[in-house]
Amino acid sequence: MKKYEVIAEEMAAAIRQGLLKRGDKLPSIRQVQALKQVNASTVFQAYYLLEARGLLVARPRSGYYVAGNLHAERSLAPGGMPPAGLPTMLQVSDLVFTLLDRIKDPQHVPFGSAFPSPRHFPLAKLADHMASAVRRIHPSDTVSDIGQGDNALRRQIALRYQLDGTHTDASDIVVTNGALEALNLSLAAVTQPGDSVIIESPSFYAALQAIERMGLRAIEVPSHPEYGIDLMALEQAIIQHQPKACWLMTNFQNPTGSLMPEDKKQALVALITRYQLPLIEDDVYRELYFGKQRPLPAKTWDSEGWVMHCSSFSKTLAPGYRVGWVSAGRFTSQITRLKISTTLATSIPAQHALASYLAKGGYDKHLRQLRHQLMLQQLQFSQAIYQHFPEQVRFNLPQGGYFFWMQLPQHIDSLQLFQQAIAHNISLAPGHMFSSQQQYANFIRLNYGHPLDTHSLQAIQALGTLMKQVSN
Specify the DSSP class assigned to residue 28: P
d(C-alpha 246, C-alpha 298), whole Å: 13
Binding residue for its own copies, selected from 123, 232, 271, 470, defined by CB under 8 A: 123
Query: What's the start-to-end Cα distance of the chain, in Å?
Result: 51
Binds its own copies (CB under 8 A): choice among 337, 413, 437, 465: 337
The one segment of 97-105, 216-224, 293-301, 390-398 that binds its own copies by CB under 8 A: 97-105
What is the sign of the dihedral through the CA atoms of 406, 408, 414 and 416?
negative
Confirm if 439 and 430 have CB atoms less than 8 A apart.
Answer: no
Contact 361, 129 (CB under 8 A): yes
What is the smallest separation between the CB atom of 84 and its own copies, expressed in angstroms?
Answer: 24
Does 113 help bind its own copies (rule: CB under 8 A)?
yes
Smallest distance, Å, CB 343 to its own copies? 4
Q: Under the criterion CB under 8 A, does residue 118 sit at the interface with its own copies?
A: yes
Is 181 near its own copies (CB under 8 A)?
yes
C-alpha R_g of the chain: 23
- Residue from 93, 151, 266, 420 in contact with its own copies (CB under 8 A): 93
∠ CA 114-118-120 to the nearest 5 degrees? Answer: 110
Contact between 151 and its own copies per CB under 8 A = no
Check if the beta carbon of residue 448 is closer than 8 Å to that of residue 400: no
Helix, coil or strand: residue 197: strand
Min dist CB 248 to its own copies, Å, is: 18
Check binding of 107 to its own copies (CB under 8 A). no
Which one, 14 or 100, has the nearer CB to its own copies? 100
Kindly state whether residue 142 participates in binding its own copies, applying the rule CB under 8 A. yes
Q: Is 213 in the site for its own copies (CB under 8 A)?
A: yes
**Given candidates 338, 358, 417, 463, which one binds its own copies under the rule CB under 8 A?**
338
| Number of other residues whose CB lies within 10 A of the CB of residue 301 | 18
Shortest Å, Cβ 332 to its own copies: 13
Tell me how far CA of residue 59 lies from CA of 51, 56, 74, 126, 386, in angstroms: 11, 10, 15, 40, 10
For 279, which DSSP code?
A: E
Neighbours of 349 (CB within 10 A): 15
Rule CB under 8 A: choose which of 178, 222, 401, 431 binds its own copies: 178
Give the footprint of its own copies on this chain (CB under 8 A). 93, 97, 100, 104, 106, 113, 115, 117-119, 121, 123-124, 126-127, 130-131, 134-135, 137, 139-147, 176-178, 180-181, 184, 188, 192-193, 206, 209-210, 213, 215, 319-323, 337-338, 340-350, 353
